[in-house]
Structure 1
């Protein structure tokens, strides 16, 4: 892909959308960099597809039923509680 694949006007438009002020030399630099990025994407298009699906394995453990804490025991180290529940700071 040639360096003029991305025009300076397109770079200025993207910079305006991103609210970035660019000097003229920066516009030229970004145009070249954008062209390089597009070249990389063209290279990725040349990678052959894989015709097999990956072997998937369930890595999750099975659920186990266990006894839970009593409410008082769960709240015993809480800094603040209210009506039997944890109380956190107000969010504004």
Structure 2
């Protein structure tokens, strides 16, 4: 497979509205070729019997199940708040709105 040329990098730079110097075109062309080669190597290794995964280790949900449990009554909670108004916590205004 032919590599990415400096002309292709220049074209991509123009499309991206990036201004690249001549030495940057060569540098990025080399880097992009390395990336394409690395992806090709991974594609060669992938076997048909290996299912696609999003993570190398199996993940399980580590959260506990939701359970209804007794909790404080609203009046008990509001009694411990620094400020309350109309059965709600009163907090400082932050957006300057009325």
TM range (shorter): 0.5 to 0.7
What corresponds to 1:63 in structure 2? 66
Q: Which of 58, 81, 94 matches 1:89?
A: 94
Aligned residue pair count: 88
TM-score (ref. length: structure 2) = 0.61
Structure 2: give runs of 5+ residues left out of the alignment: none
Alpha-carbon RMSD: 3.3
Structure-2 change in CA distance of 1:21 and 1:55 (3 Å): closer
Higher relative contact order (CA 8 A, sep 6+): 1
Q: Which of 37, 44, 47 matches 2:45?
A: 47
Structure 1: give runs of 5+ residues left out of the alignment: none
Q: What secondary structure does 1:40 align onto? A: helix
